Amino acid sequence: MVSLFEPTNELKVTKSQAYYLAAEWHDKQAALCATIEADEPRIEARIRERAGEAARHHRASAAGLRLVAIEFRRKALNEPTH
């Protein structure tokens, strides 16, 4: 019998894909923020500084989400199927 509280391998893989998709979103946001940070002639220093902080935040979030995605995938691959 399948437990409602014990995720199946398929659910773990799906969760892994969802976390990876969220990481890709953070990568896109980081790239946009980095572009704003680098746009010195048109954007004032205070906004560029905040964009740089946002880019670092998004890169860190993407890295953390990828670690979780890898852990879900690893658990799904290493658990025996019933």
Q: What is the pLDDT of residues 6-27, one digit of tens each?
A: 556 677 678 889 999 999 999 9
Q: How far is CA 29 from CA 8, 24, 40, 55, 56, in A?
A: 32, 9, 19, 7, 10
> pLDDT-derived band of residue 2, with 50, 70 and 90 as boundaries?
very low
Record the pTM: 0.78
At residue 1, the pLDDT reads: 41
* Contact between residue 62 and residue 26 where contact means Cβ atoms under 8 Å apart: yes
